[in-house]
Structure 1
């Protein structure tokens, strides 16, 4: 493996095709004492999860619209065809917009993909157990000198230490929505439904306006306790948004139409 590492160029990125578990052990360190410190913060493809966006925009004191306009660009996930936001790199070197000389300026609220590095996380559908399962893999980059050095971790310890567990728990429903769309293969989705997916995934402010500023609560049967929770908390609102997406995309989940909304409208005869 050592000889292989020397053949990597500075920007090469290799996903090691070995499925890891939470008990897999590895050594890794990333701090100012490592010669390649912050070199991994350029020319990145970072798909921002809904929880990433909320943490980042609150860290910066911005509205969702302001954050999306300044720091992101839209992207279509190739397998699912669903629209998401990815972090927009800056300048000729394609640097992360949050990178300063001393390191990450939003470190406490950095995206989940940054928290995992040098581990990658994915999810697959276990048809035998009829449930989704997470898996992990190593990401090796030519410039990285932190792998094989420093403290030894299990992947479970690394996830907890880096705060990734909270992110994964919050984004799980969103990831399952994407996974199901991928597993269904090509299927026609109404453009308005795609717009709704993008809104929930990236802009909790606009979703709040949609829920409370339209006939949404007249159409869907939402109990008063839930209405109050989503009115007070953007995180509860986002969780509710995932439920609504499952209903809109797959007609699944506990969200139900009100009985009066199910009845066909009576045609009014012209005078």
Structure 2
């Protein structure tokens, strides 16, 4: 892979794009899609707007029982080569855990370390990891010894060399993920590691334990409301961005506005939301289903409240 070829590790979730190394090339957007090269076309959810057939074109698809060989360690000459010049789309949990690992607020993390691509193909905002300014465009968290934020590494980085794609939302159809392999020419780990199945690889990389929390996000980006190309208005785009990615700002929104005067939230849950980030993220997804799609995922205390549903 040439130095100037950008890789894509986007996730492959329906609703964002449809390929994921998790979120972008390596990334994976959920789960996003398309960059130049592919460490990143990995198993993250893809950003909205990428067609699954395009994502899967030329990729080796894997069934649940099929095995693949892979191993990655500092002894390989290609070590960390896959961590440069790639599009890594971040999931909400990625943004949260990376900001906490770095000891900074979510808003500061977004400002310092991410980009928000704007294209007609995206029906929802996505976050992309900002690469370094050096000629090789290396990930800012990667050094000679490897990843400095390894415990909080994004979904797509965990899943590589496996990618995941989800078909676009269709009424009455529960989308089934399709897994595939990124077969980068530079990667020597494909010939030296142990054998894995999709499930054993996901288990080893700590992906399965994230799924319950991230399922709330998946349910939003692949929501049937988007069937037919419907788009959120700018105000609701901002609501989505805040609730999914800027959790510290969302917490202030809950506790420093009239939010708790308008919505009936259990007292014990309110206490948890003050300090439990993951509980707050799950609650943010509940609120978005109410605010974006008009679903009764939250109860209003009294009087009419606009659900925020687009016309």
Q: What does the per-residue CA deviation read over 1:40-87, in whole Å, with 9 as the maximum and x for residues that have no partner?
A: 000111111111111111111111122112111112475442112110
TM-score, scaled relative to structure 2: 0.75
Name the structure 2 match of 1:243. 286
Deviation at 1:169, TM superposition (A): 2.9
Q: How does 1:35-46 map to 2 (within 5 A)?
A: 35-46=77-88
CA 1:220–1:170: 2 relative to 1, 3 Å: same
* Whole-Å separation in 1 of the counterparts to 2:188 and 2:154: 22
Range that drifts further, 163-172 or 22-31: 163-172
Deviation at 1:18, TM superposition (A): 4.3
Name the structure 2 match of 1:205. 248
* Whole-Å separation in 2 of the counterparts to 1:21 and 1:246: 32
* Whole-Å separation in 2 of the counterparts to 1:172 and 1:26: 26
CA 1:217–1:141: 2 relative to 1, 3 Å: same
* More strand per residue: 1
* Whole-Å separation in 1 of the counterparts to 2:183 and 2:225: 26
* Whole-Å separation in 2 of the counterparts to 1:101 and 1:118: 21
Name the structure 2 match of 1:86. 128
Q: How does 1:211-226 map to 2 (within 5 A)?
A: 211-226=254-269
8 Å contact from structure 2 (residues 289, 297) kept in 1: no
| RMSD (Å) for aligned C-alpha atoms | 2.4
8 Å contact from structure 1 (residues 50, 202) kept in 2: yes
2:187 to 126, 144, 150: 144
**Structure 2 residue 232 is matched with structure 1 residue 189:** yes
* More helix per residue: 1
Name the structure 2 match of 1:54. 96
CA 1:64–1:154: 2 relative to 1, 3 Å: same
How many pairs does the alignment contain?
256
Deviation at 1:125, TM superposition (A): 6.5
CA 1:244–1:77: 2 relative to 1, 3 Å: farther
* Whole-Å separation in 2 of the counterparts to 1:209 and 1:229: 14
Bigger Cα Rg: 1
Report the secondary structure of 2:151's partner residue.
helix
Name the structure 2 match of 1:153. 196
Deviation at 1:146, TM superposition (A): 1.1
8 Å contact from structure 1 (residues 80, 181) kept in 2: no
* Whole-Å separation in 1 of the counterparts to 2:305 and 2:268: 23
Q: How does 1:60-79 map to 2 (within 5 A)?
A: 60-76=102-118, 79=121
Deviation at 1:22, TM superposition (A): 3.2
* Whole-Å separation in 2 of the counterparts to 1:253 and 1:262: 12
- Relative contact order (C-alpha < 8 Å, sep 6+): which is higher? 1
Question: Runs of 5+ in structure 1 lacking a partner?
Answer: 1-7, 264-271
TM-score, scaled relative to structure 1: 0.85
Name the structure 1 match of 2:46. none
8 Å contact from structure 1 (residues 84, 201) kept in 2: no
Deviation at 1:29, TM superposition (A): 0.8
